[in-house]
Amino acid sequence: MTDIRREYERDLSQSIALDAETSRRTRRSVMGTFHAMPPWVGAVVGIVVILIVWQIVAVTIFKVTGSVPQPGLVFAQLFHDLTDSVYWNAIAKTASSAGWGFLWGNVIALVLAALVLVFPWFEGMSTQLAVVTTCIPLTAIAPIVTLLMPAGSRTTSIFLAALSVIFTTVVGTILGLNAASQTQIDVIRAYGGSRFTVLVKVRLIAALPSIMAALKLAAPAAFLGAVLGEYFLIGVDSGIGILLLAATATAASVKLWAVALISAGVAGLAYFVIGRIGRLVAPWSAGDARAGGGF
């Protein structure tokens, strides 16, 4: 009986080990299949899942109120709106404000980060200033800026777009500049290189991937900041924010969702374009970016 029991336990252990090994191989095979898939497959699957959930929610929870319309109705409205020049003009106006805000906000951010190189003790203050810009309630400061500007000015929209990008770019730039290899810096200095040479040959090259990643995140933030700023403009009748206000005032939920999709699409396009530029500017980071879902 003892021998039979031992043989049974041995066979059971071997069976469990075989099942575990088979399970591990299956998992590796499945994971390998997923990793082998191009990135766009995951994006398509995600979009399909979102649309299915959206449709279910629209025809069940919000069927009576209609505040969440069916995706088919929203996309039909979207395609109709894009044939109207009013919407293209609104996109252009908001994109212009976002572009100026993106420019000025990043100039300020890069200056703050550059001061850290000249005055290392300024890093804490620079970071705190960046934190302040992201902690300021935009809806609280926007009316103040609007009152300071003449009617018809889009300064509030530009200002909020600029505020929306400073923190991201400051942090990304400082992290990138500090990522430079100390060994490379020592080699440049050993051969008589100046601080400017170290900056150009080592620090900027090391910082470019982080800077471009920060700019990639800042681009859609600038656009959404510009849209929010348009909610407070006086004497301005064109812009994505204005269209959202009009749709909200008339309780046109389908149109509201269509304009929101336009806004999301433009923000996503900005993210994609800056990401592509990042690949051109810092091609050596493309491998890491793909691994981490970057550019």
Confidence of residue 220 (pLDDT cuts 50, 70, 90): very high
The rounded distance, in Å, linking the Cα atoms of 203 and 154 is: 37
> How many Å is the Cα radius of gyration of the chain?
27
What pLDDT, in 10s, does the model give residues 9-49? 555 455 555 555 566 665 665 455 555 666 667 777 878 88
pLDDT at 185 over 50: yes
- Residue 64 counted as domain residue: no
Q: Tell me the whole-structure pTM to 2 decimals.
A: 0.76
- Residue 280 counted as domain residue: yes
Q: Residues 95, 180: one domain?
A: yes
Q: Residues 52, 159: one domain?
A: no
> At 159, which amino acid appears?
F
CB atoms within 10 A of CB 286: 15
Q: Residues 245, 104: one domain?
A: yes
Q: Residues 265, 194: one domain?
A: yes
What pLDDT, in 10s, does the model give residues 249-271? 887 888 889 999 999 999 999 99
- Residue 143 counted as domain residue: yes
pLDDT at 88 over 80: yes
- Residue 277 counted as domain residue: yes
Count of the separate structural domains present in the chain: 2
* pLDDT score at 65: 76
pLDDT at 292 over 90: no
Nearest to residue 168, comparing CAs of 93, 92, 101? Answer: 101
Among residues of the chain, what percentage have pLDDT more than 70?
A: 78
Backbone angles phi, psi at 109, to 5 degrees: -65, -45
Q: Residues 14, 155: one domain?
A: no
Q: Is 95 helix (H, G, I), strand (E, B) or coil?
A: helix
Q: Residues 55, 118: one domain?
A: no
Backbone angles phi, psi at 198, to 5 degrees: -60, -40
Average per-residue pLDDT for the chain: 79
Nearest to residue 270, comparing CAs of 164, 139, 130, 167? Answer: 164
What pLDDT, in 10s, does the model give residues 192-213? 766 667 766 777 777 788 888 8
- Residue 96 counted as domain residue: yes
pLDDT at 225 over 50: yes
- In which domain, by residue range, is 6 found? 2-59
* pLDDT score at 227: 92
Q: What is the CATH number of the domain that holds 112?
A: 1.10.3720.10
Helix and strand counts by DSSP (H, E) for the chain:
13, 0
* pLDDT score at 145: 85
Confidence of residue 121 (pLDDT cuts 50, 70, 90): confident
Q: Residues 285, 218: one domain?
A: yes
* pLDDT score at 33: 53
Tell me which residue has tokens 């109705």.
73
What pLDDT, in 10s, does the model give residues 42-64? 777 878 888 888 788 888 887 77
Confidence of residue 152 (pLDDT cuts 50, 70, 90): confident
* pLDDT score at 295: 44
208: Cβ contacts below 8 Å, ≥ 6 apart: 176, 281, 282, 285
Q: Residues 100, 51: one domain?
A: no
Q: Residues 31, 117: one domain?
A: no
Q: Which two tokens stand for residue 11?
A: 């066979």
* pLDDT score at 174: 86
